[in-house]
Amino acid sequence: MTNYDPAAPRRFLWLVFAFIILWPALLITQFNPLLFFESTNLQVLRNFLGQFFPPQTARDFLQILFKATLETLAIATAGITLALIIAIPLGLIISQSLSISRIGPANGHLLWWSMRYIARIIMMILRGVPEIVWALLLVRVFGLGVTAGVLAIAVTYGGMLGKVYSEILESSDTKSCRVLLQLGSGRIVAFFYGLLPGASQELASYTIYRWECALRASVVMGFVGAGGLGQLMDQSMKLLNGSEVSSILIVFLLLVLLADWLSYEVRRQLL
């Protein structure tokens, strides 16, 4: 006797609906997977990939690569640090879990409501503009270099982190926080002793994930003059030096592995 899944027709309809939406998008973009298998394109692809081997290991280039790697780490780390300075106050302000008015009458309800609304608008503006756009604007102000990259990450990720922090705090267990607020404690005390212990692992994991994203973003922003591995890769690509690009990509992948290891270790320590 076969088992009948009552949800199967609904899943099939959703699959058909997704295909109906996807097919016109593929036609608009003129995406054709068969182009990958044409003999001419395959030969061009082989020649292109052949330029990346072997990776560049000259001492002078490795010294430059090491300096660019430190710049990329500095851009990502400094950017995330400044983003935290922006995100933590905004996240705490808009978090409904720390709202005293939710547990009963409170003075200044209109003031706090206005502050939450303003904080949400600020975060929307910060995260609504991609970091590469912020970098393009800030390079005009501060010139070429790491300053534009750091500030671009700080601005964009400050809005992202603030929004996600508030959602993590609201989705975690809020019973302890509510009890503390009912007993008359302040919002900061309720946060540290009521919300943070239960949400610390998820907050730390997401912060490190955003640091990993900042590493990737700093490489991309290097193409607009924000320094680091991206700027070095842009120079190597313009000179058609595939071996240097290969070495840069290997270092970048090692940085991503480092971020994964840090995330694992932090989660393990917080268990």
The CATH number of residue 202's host domain is 1.10.3720.10
Whether 112 shows a pLDDT value over 70: the answer reads: no
Closest CA to 91 of 120, 125, 126: 120
For residue 14, tell me if it sits in a domain. Answer: no
Question: What domain range includes position 215?
Answer: 59-270
The mean pLDDT value for 14-18 works out to 83
Taking the C-alpha atoms of residue 13 and residue 15, their distance in angstroms, rounded to an integer, is: 5
Indicate the average pLDDT of the chain: 78
Q: Give pLDDT tens digits for 202-230.
A: 888 888 888 888 888 887 877 776 677 88
For residue 1, tell me if it sits in a domain. Answer: no
For residue 6, tell me if it sits in a domain. Answer: no
Closest CA to 40 of 51, 48, 30: 48
Q: Give pLDDT tens digits for 59-111.
A: 888 888 888 888 888 888 888 999 999 988 888 888 766 665 555 455 556 66
Q: What is the DSSP letter of 51?
A: T
What the block records as the tokens of 226 is 């924000």
- CA dihedral of 5, 9, 14, 19, whole degrees rounded to 10: 120
Q: Among 59-68, 189-198, 232-241, which is the least confidently predicted range?
A: 189-198
| Confidence at residue 82, expressed as pLDDT on a 0 to 100 scale | 92
What the block records as the tokens of 37 is 């298998």
Closest CA to 223 of 235, 211, 212: 235
Number of domains forming the structure of the chain: 1
For residue 221, tell me if it sits in a domain. Answer: yes
Closest CA to 69 of 238, 240, 198, 258: 258
| Most confident listed range (8-22, 67-81, 159-173, 252-266) | 67-81
For residue 112, tell me if it sits in a domain. Answer: yes
For residue 145, tell me if it sits in a domain. Answer: yes
For residue 12, tell me if it sits in a domain. Answer: no
Q: Are 160 and 127 in contact (CB under 8 A)?
A: yes
* Residue type present at position 104: G
For residue 127, tell me if it sits in a domain. Answer: yes
The band of 150, judged by pLDDT with boundaries at 50, 70 and 90, is confident
